[in-house]
């Protein structure tokens, strides 16, 4: 285990470095291929609108993958993640332009647990609205 | 139409092994914008103490969700997949998934609820390696939105 953050140096309330993750239509096509999730709501605007969505939306699992990067970049060792869970509360709407959408993620230590682990609560927003709820990770520190 | 409560507790047979490849991990890591060499460089992974490159934390969902297809597509359960959205997702890791793993998934229906006409299905997927050791448990909550009134 080579996590670069020491348990003893972390307190409840310690903030993790926040990150912003851009997502365009191209990002979603690439994620569809890598993950095997080819649901057309993630790449076909016509289909998305037919099922009542405002536009193409990002895969929830893509947003989940981005949010945990705030934790894994902090610890340095992604294998130090013991638990990770989210609730998908709102979709990330991705317009068909060069900008796409931005997923903004922040995190802070919410509890110090046993065995050198801490619970980190994550906040993920896009276009000013929360897109994940109950977004929590338990991670083992050095 | 509410789902049959008698399916709660039902466990489906383990899936055929999924062999985790280095290049599949690389493809996934690049698709989510990851640059940590622990995902792509076996030597870097060894410096972290892993025998081979490891997968990003959510990589395993592709495997567990495919396995959950047994549940979702069970004609006896009768879930209307066209109305399904992903509600919650959680993972508990015994160790990171890594290249060379041959993983099988055993899916169990943990709960079935009906709320305001929505069917809510909780599926637990237990992922084991070739030696039978538990690697990760995945909990997936699927919500089938109520059918619109005709």
Shortest distance, CA A32 to any CA of chain B (angstroms) = 9
ipTM of the complex: 0.96
Q: For an interface test with A, give the residue of B22, B27, B32, B36 to mutate (most A CBs within 10 A).
A: B32
Q: What is the pLDDT at residue A98?
A: 87
Contacts of A62 in chain B (CB under 8 A): 32
**Candidate ranges A15-24, A48-57, B69-78; pick with highest mean pLDDT:** A15-24
Residues 6+ apart with CB under 8 A from A126: A63, A90, A92, A93, A101, A102, A103, A104
Residue A95 scores a pLDDT above 60: yes
Q: What is the pLDDT at residue A1?
A: 46
Contacts of A2 in chain B (CB under 8 A): 47-49
Q: What is the pLDDT at residue B146?
A: 81
What is the residue-averaged pLDDT of chain A? Answer: 96
What is the tens place of the pLDDT at every residue in B102-128? Answer: 999 999 999 999 988 899 999 999 999
Q: For an interface test with B, give the residue of A3, A4, A21, A35 to mutate (most B CBs within 10 A).
A: A35
What is the tens place of the pLDDT at every residue in B22-41? Answer: 999 999 999 999 999 999 99
The class (CATH top level) of A7-23+58-140 is alpha beta
Q: What is the pLDDT at residue A74?
A: 96
Average the pLDDT over A57-75 and give the result.
97
Superfamily of domain B9-20+59-144: Hotdog Thioesterase (3.10.129.10)
The pLDDT confidence band at residue A38, using thresholds 50, 70 and 90, is: very high
Task: Verify whether the Cβ–Cβ distance A61 to B58 is below 8 Å.
Answer: yes
């Amino acid at each position: 285990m080579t996590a670069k953050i020491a348990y003893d140096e972390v307190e409840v309330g310690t903030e993790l470095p926040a990150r912003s993750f851009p997502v365009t239509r191209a990002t979603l096509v690439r994620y569809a291929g890598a993950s095997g999730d080819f649901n057309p709501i993630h790449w076909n605007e016509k289909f998305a609108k037919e099922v009542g969505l405002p536009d193409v939306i990002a895969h929830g699992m893509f947003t989940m993958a981005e949010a945990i990067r705030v934790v894994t970049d902090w610890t340095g060792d992604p294998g130090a993640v013991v638990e990770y869970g989210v609730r998908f509360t709102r979709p990330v709407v991705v317009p068909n332009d060069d900008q796409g959408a931005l997923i903004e993620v922040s995190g802070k230590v919410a509890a110090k647990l046993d065995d050198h682990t801490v619970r980190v609560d994550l906040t993920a927003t896009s276009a000013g609205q929360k897109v994940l709820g109950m977004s929590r990770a338990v991670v083992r520190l050095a | 139409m509410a789902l049959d409560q008698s399916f709660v507790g039902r466990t489906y047979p383990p899936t055929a092994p999924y062999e985790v490849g280095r290049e599949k991990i690389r493809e996934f890591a690049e698709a989510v914008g990851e640059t940590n060499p622990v995902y792509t460089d076996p030597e870097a992974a060894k410096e972290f103490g892993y025998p081979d490159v490891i997968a990003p934390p959510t990589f395993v969902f592709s495997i567990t969700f495919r396995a959950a297809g047994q549940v979702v597509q069970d004609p006896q359960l009768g879930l209307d997949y066209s109305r399904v959205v992903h509600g919650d997702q959680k993972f508990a890791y015994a160790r990171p998934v890594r290249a060379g793993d041959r993983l099988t998934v055993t899916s169990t229906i943990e709960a079935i609820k009906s709320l305001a006409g929505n069917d809510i299905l909780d599926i637990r997927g237990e992922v084991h390696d070739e030696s039978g050791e538990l690697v990760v448990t995945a909990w997936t909550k699927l919500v089938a939105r109520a059918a619109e009134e005709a």
